[in-house]
């Protein structure tokens, strides 16, 4: 039996492909369907259709373009996260605009990759995002670090206002989240269960009024919780 004909695992990652270019969607579909642990459950050509398909197919991961007709990928990301909070959104776009990157993170995206990556790399990206990792193309990561620096400078220039108080354990978890560790690894590091880590992460996001782990990273850097040299 060839790889493309291999049966899907019952634990296969359910993926929804959203892009306004039919050929690109088809190429992604062909590559991902050749993976036994990935199941393409649908596709959409614009943001409006993406939200409808996501509600019907309940994907684990959504591969989302940024700029599309009718409704942008960022708007669709925000809407999908409202109805399917557990879905991971991975932006896959040609847009290297900083504004799109920041807005995607604020909307709840778990990653932002430029289409300069090979289409064969997308399968691994899907797996990593599903496992709780945050992915950003190197060229965009440098822009994000520049924004971090600017955010820290702005914070230093304004009057400090006391923020929400996190427990010592929540601070430990937040620091490890900001280092890119997934829940399993954080649990091993702190000698607590993965479910306990999930509860801490949920409490952290609620206390800080954040929507994603990516936003938690931004917060941690802004508040100088990480030793970045």
User: Is the confidence at residue 195, as pLDDT, over 50?
Assistant: yes
Query: What gap in Å lies between CA 128 and CA 4, rounded to an integer?
Result: 21
- 174-188 mean pLDDT: 85
User: Is the confidence at residue 211, as pLDDT, over 70?
Assistant: yes
pLDDT band at 1 (very low <50, low <70, confident <90, very high): very low
Quote the pLDDT of residue 64: 95
User: Is the confidence at residue 97, as pLDDT, over 90?
Assistant: no
Query: What gap in Å lies between CA 136 and CA 78, rounded to an integer?
Result: 18
pTM here? 0.63
User: Is the confidence at residue 27, as pLDDT, over 80?
Assistant: yes
Range with lowest mean pLDDT among 16-25, 134-143, 171-180, 219-228: 219-228
Look-up of token digits 């923020």? 163
pLDDT band at 7 (very low <50, low <70, confident <90, very high): low
User: Is the confidence at residue 159, as pLDDT, over 50?
Assistant: no
Range with lowest mean pLDDT among 84-88, 89-93, 111-115, 159-163: 159-163
Quote the pLDDT of residue 57: 95
Quote the pLDDT of residue 223: 72
Quote the pLDDT of residue 180: 74
207 or 76: which carries more pLDDT confidence? Answer: 76
User: Is the confidence at residue 96, as pLDDT, over 80?
Assistant: yes
DSSP-derived secondary structure for 139-153 = HHHHHHHHHHHHHHH
All structural domains of the chain, each given as residue ranges with its CATH number in brackets, are 3-140 (3.40.50.2300), 157-222 (1.10.10.10)
- Residues with Cβ within 8 Å of 113's Cβ and at least 6 positions away in sequence, in order, are 90, 91, 92, 93, 125, 135, 136, 137
CA angle, 26 then 77 then 58, to 5°: 65
User: Is the confidence at residue 10, as pLDDT, over 80?
Assistant: no
Average pLDDT, the chain: 83
Question: Residue 71 half-sphere exposure, CB side, CA atoms within 13 Å?
Answer: 18
Query: What gap in Å lies between CA 87 and CA 76, rounded to an integer?
Result: 12
* Helix/strand/coil for 213: helix
pLDDT band at 2 (very low <50, low <70, confident <90, very high): very low
């Amino acid at each position: 039996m060839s790889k493309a004909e291999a049966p899907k695992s019952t634990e296969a990652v359910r993926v929804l492909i959203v892009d306004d270019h039919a050929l690109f969607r088809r190429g992604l579909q062909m590559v991902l369907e050749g993976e036994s642990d990935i199941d393409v459950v649908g596709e959409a050509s614009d943001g409006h259709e993406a939200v409808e398909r996501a509600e019907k197919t309940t994907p684990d991961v959504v591969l989302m373009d940024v700029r599309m007709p009718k409704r942008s990928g960022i708007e669709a990301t925000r809407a999908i996260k409202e109805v399917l909070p557990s879905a991971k959104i991975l932006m896959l776009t040609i847009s290297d605009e900083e504004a799109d990157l920041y807005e995607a993170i604020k909307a709840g995206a778990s990653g932002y990759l430029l289409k300069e990556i090979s289409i064969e790399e997308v399968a691994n990206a899907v797996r990593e995002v599903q496992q709780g990792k945050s992915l950003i193309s190197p060229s965009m990561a440098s822009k994000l670090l520049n924004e971090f620096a600017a955010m820290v400078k702005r914070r230093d220039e304004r009057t400090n206002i006391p923020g929400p108080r996190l427990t010592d354990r929540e601070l430990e978890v937040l620091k490890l989240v900001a280092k890119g560790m997934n829940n399993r690894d954080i649990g091993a590091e702190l000698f607590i269960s993965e479910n306990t880590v999930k509860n801490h992460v949920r409490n952290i996001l609620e206390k800080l009024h954040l929507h994603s782990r990516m936003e938690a990273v931004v917060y941690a850097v802004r508040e100088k919780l990480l030793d970045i040299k």
